[in-house]
Amino acid sequence: QVQLVESGGGLVQAGESLRLSCAASISIFSFKAMAWYRQAPGNERELVASITAGRTTNYSDSVKGRATISRDMARNTVDLQMNTLKPDDTGIYYCSGALGGSVAWGQGTQVTVSS
């Protein structure tokens, strides 16, 4: 069973930065695409950023210009660098990976941005 483990969350102040990492139990290059989602209290889970096997990236309008998704081959992780964080960025951040007809999810990491 494929496992994804997120790390890097925490409590930060508005304007600060965080780098989230998603470690996979298999090569990250096995995935057709990987993505970061977030879920704020009372809201649905929403896509934050994604990266395909061909390195095409996509960002939600809410983080465009403030976030960068990347793959680290040496660490076998998919990372999300978030800058100039806002209170609206608060939520649980989940990593996902698309494999053929299935999608693997991590357990999530909490990000809290105080104003």
The rounded distance, in Å, linking the Cα atoms of 52 and 71 is: 10
Burial of residue 101 (number of CB atoms within 10 Å: 0-12, 13-18, 19+): exposed
The rounded distance, in Å, linking the Cα atoms of 70 and 77 is: 8
Sequence-distant (6+) residues with CB within 8 A of 102 are none
Residue 1, pLDDT score: 87
| Mean model confidence pLDDT for the chain | 97
Residue 64, pLDDT score: 97
User: pLDDT by residue (tens digit) across 87-98?
Assistant: 999 999 999 999
Q: Which amino acid, 100?
A: G
Work out the percent of the chain whose per-residue pLDDT is above 90: 97
Residue 110, pLDDT score: 98
pLDDT band at 101; cut points 50, 70, 90 = confident
- Asked if pLDDT for residue 13 goes beyond 90, the answer is yes
Give the C-alpha distances (Å, rounded to integers) separating 30 from 38, 71, 73, 79, 90. Answer: 23, 12, 12, 16, 30
The rounded distance, in Å, linking the Cα atoms of 105 and 87 is: 25
